[in-house]
Structure 1
Amino acid sequence: MVRMFKRSNGILYVEYMIGTKTVQKSTRLKDTKANRRLIEKEVIPTLERKIILGEVAGTKAKEFKYYAKIFLKDKEHIKTYNQLVSIVNVLNDRFGDIRINAINRAMIKEFVRDRLEINTPKTVNNYLTPLRGVFDNAIDAEAIKHNPCDKIKLPKHTKKSVEPFSSQQVDIILSKTFGWLQTFLAISFYTGMRTGEVLALMHSDIDLKNRVIRVRRSINKGKITTPKTDSSIRDVPIFDGLIKYLPKPSNSLWLFSKEDGKPYAAFSGSKQKEWRDLLKDCKIDYRKVYATRHTFIVSMLKNSDLSILEVAQLVGHTSTQMIIQNYGKFIKGEHLKINRKIKLFTDNSTDSMSQSAL
């Protein structure tokens, strides 16, 4: 009547029938010999007696939005919570009022196909991951036995290459704008700071005496947070070309602030339109404003004496891997600029090692 089994999470479960419905419940015990004996000798006999007496009822599945609410409650601590709320709202629009046990793989696949009409596979996966998490909560509550999102395959995502701006394009862009946007773009181009890091700058972060900008915070979806990683908390140098674009100190705490004195929540809305119109006016193909960061990194790799590790530290990367992977193709052929007059086989240490090896 009652059987015991183990799931992939290493926890022991019991399965039994209530009428025509199969019910699975977690014992919350790990799969050990001692726990198996305990379940066989105490849990199963007790459960079988309750089933016979009619004291056990099956778990009634609730609507999708109920489990989605639980999923969000468990994620309140993460930095991307607001973004996750937006995604779950989309999921609720599609599945919210449907009972969780009535949603099958065919419905999930249809949702995925619809999203792929407007989003890349990478973005669709951002919907599929929390969707899978909602169904996992339903499994934990024993409302369903299997996750309908399992083994849903997405097309391979080919990441679109972000083209950096040329030095001539940077000059044109900065010459054709003014005010806050000119300051924002100049800092972005000359420091490689992330968009959220630039928006979160305070006047006190700009140290002209020591010629550095202190990166101590970021803004993500209107929320002021620490930068992306520990290595992102850094000081970046103020190059000569940037000085003329830096504003004078003002009464405002923030370098870029709204009329109410608060910082801008994101580079979006009217700001995004102003950026798009600027590129159109400059007759430059549209790129996301994040391309300013790519432009800085490529320029540093090509024109400075810094090593790849030093460039990575300058822009707040945790390692050189991201630099090599994302920007190596833009400096292809730089090795051919090497001085041809270098004498390779005249080093004394090399000669001595060669002689000793004979």
Structure 2
Amino acid sequence: MGSIRVRESTQKLFFDFHYLGKRCREQTALENTASNRKKLESILKRIEAEITLGTFEYHHYFPNSPRAKEFTRQAEVQRAREAHDTPLFEAFSKDWLDEMKIQWRQSHISTVEGTLKNYLNPYFGEKEVGRITKKDILDFRASLAKVTTRSEKHLSASRINRIMTPLRMILSEAANRFEFSSPYHGIKSLKVPRTDVEPFSIDEVKQIIDTVRPDFRNYYIVRFFTGMRTGEIDGLQWDHVDFKRRQILVRQALVQGRLEYTKNDGSFRTIEMSQLVVDALNDQKKATGKMNFVFCTRTGSPLNHNNITKRVWYPLLRHLGLRKRRPYQTRHTAATLWLAAGENPEWIARQMGHTTTEMLFRVYSRYVPNLTRRDGSAFERLLLTEFDSSTHASAEEVFNEK
């Protein structure tokens, strides 16, 4: 049984009762009078009756109590257990997405919404989150491997992993909230083949720059010699070009037609401009200097990279007889050219927006034979020196002398 008690230090009345195995003491602002006691005792009777019936909602009576949120969650879990019931996947995933939106860029929100609409809800929507099994998940992933795209290709391992990520997050949150073991536990991502970079040689770059349409010459000079990502150069505005310090300030990117902040802290960076880039941007300013975007349409709107790729980039490669490669290879080209020129790897990493130099050596070193001096040339010179000094001695004689 609960009771109404008085706190000696303040002479204010407070509730003292037990709920879900815990003692609860909730302070009131009422003075210790007979009428106030009678009023609170009436409320306490209702509380105890609702606890007995299983309908008590702690936050309805004590909305400002630190315990309200905790008890509300426990009550939900208890009711779900008693009813052997959890929300349907589609309803729960909607609540989950609404809670997560504040953390994500709009482009990522759109991607997750598309994944839910096209893949997850059609398969899991009518299932209770607490009744989804590991077999359900594995069957769903197997079904994705049979899906074909518009170009009649199967979904890649990387694409399947991206579809599975929201599912893992949703089930993990549901498991925490309703206290069951996530069925996703132990399921690993599909192994993704390493993507090989295909940078252009300096001769190929020169061919492209010399041949491309004049109105896109500056665009591709900046792409090839700054290492900017597609969204970064398409979202570049004149406010972020500092001619005095010869710097490009990468602060935003154009993603799905919207300007958004850069995707991570490393991408938020300053690029040092070479003279070739400075000259290209000075020339570009004559054409678009009165617009907001550095590279834009005649009306000032940003470029549509898919349109440019299909109408300018691929036709140009075909015309030059060069192997078809995505425009993103201009970024890889910048990295390999800087490395081949002997620039400091840490400086290159900052230019590229990498937080460490590890990716440079892992991804690009094979395109620069003398980058790490691990190409066998040092050993080759040693042998040549030894054999030259041996005046026609055989290899066996030289090594026997050693």
Q: TM-score, normalised by structure 2?
A: 0.63
2:222 is aligned with 1:187: yes
Give the superposition deviation at 1:289: 1.6
Equivalent of 1:236 in 268, 271, 277: 271
* Number of the residue aligned with 1:119: 155
* Number of the residue aligned with 1:75: 100
Q: Does the CA contact (< 8 Å) of 1:227 and 1:233 recur in 2?
A: yes
Structure 1's unaligned 5+ residue stretches are 1-37, 44-48, 342-358
Equivalent of 1:255 in 283, 287, 294: 294
Give the superposition deviation at 1:308: 0.9
Once the two structures are superposed, residues 280-306 of structure 1 have per-residue CA deviations (whole angstroms, 9 ceiling, x without a partner) of: 3332222222111110011001114x2
Q: What SS is found at the alignment partner of 1:235?
A: strand
AA aligned opposite 1:109: L
* Number of the residue aligned with 1:177: 212
Alpha-carbon distance in 2 for matches of 1:97, 1:39? 32
* Number of the residue aligned with 2:90: 65
Alpha-carbon distance in 1 for matches of 2:50, 2:215? 71
* Number of the residue aligned with 2:186: 151
Percent identity for Structure 1 against Structure 2: 26
Q: What SS is found at the alignment partner of 1:160?
A: coil
2:122 is aligned with 1:93: yes
AA aligned opposite 1:81: I
Alpha-carbon distance in 1 for matches of 2:190, 2:249? 42
Give the superposition deviation at 1:152: 2.1
Once the two structures are superposed, residues 58-99 of structure 1 have per-residue CA deviations (whole angstroms, 9 ceiling, x without a partner) of: 263332211111221122121232322222223223323444
Alpha-carbon distance in 2 for matches of 1:65, 1:284? 48
Equivalent of 1:106 in 135, 138, 151: 135
* Number of the residue aligned with 2:42: none
Q: What SS is found at the alignment partner of 2:271?
A: strand
AA aligned opposite 1:310: W
When Rg is computed on C-alpha atoms for both structures, the one with the higher figure is 2
Question: Which one scores higher on RCO, CA 8 angstroms, separation ≥ 6?
Answer: 1
Q: Using a 3 Å threshold, how does the CA distance of structure 1 residues 97 and 294 change in structure 2: closer, same or farther?
A: same
Alpha-carbon distance in 1 for matches of 2:90, 2:299? 37
* Number of the residue aligned with 1:294: 332
2:162 is aligned with 1:133: no
Alpha-carbon distance in 2 for matches of 1:61, 1:216? 43
Once the two structures are superposed, residues 298-348 of structure 1 have per-residue CA deviations (whole angstroms, 9 ceiling, x without a partner) of: 1001114x211111122222121222222122223443678x79xxxxxxx
* Number of the residue aligned with 1:324: 361
Structure 2's unaligned 5+ residue stretches are 1-18, 25-48, 56-78, 147-153, 383-402
Alpha-carbon distance in 2 for matches of 1:222, 1:298? 30
Aligned runs of 1:2-41 on 2, under 5 Å? none
Q: Does the CA contact (< 8 Å) of 2:85 and 2:130 recur in 1?
A: no
Alpha-carbon distance in 2 for matches of 1:310, 1:283? 34
Q: What SS is found at the alignment partner of 1:218?
A: strand
Q: Which has the higher helix share?
A: 2
Give the superposition deviation at 1:187: 0.8
* Number of the residue aligned with 1:347: none
Q: Using a 3 Å threshold, how does the CA distance of structure 1 residues 69 and 258 change in structure 2: closer, same or farther?
A: farther
Give the superposition deviation at 1:120: 3.0
AA aligned opposite 1:257: C
Alpha-carbon distance in 2 for matches of 1:180, 1:148? 55
* Number of the residue aligned with 1:4: none
* Number of the residue aligned with 1:200: 235
Q: TM-score, normalised by structure 1?
A: 0.70
Number of aligned residues: 295
Q: Does the CA contact (< 8 Å) of 1:215 and 1:233 recur in 2?
A: yes
Q: Over aligned residue pairs, what C-alpha RMSD do you find?
A: 3.3
Equivalent of 1:267 in 305, 314, 321: 305
Q: Using a 3 Å threshold, how does the CA distance of structure 1 residues 150 and 280 change in structure 2: closer, same or farther?
A: farther
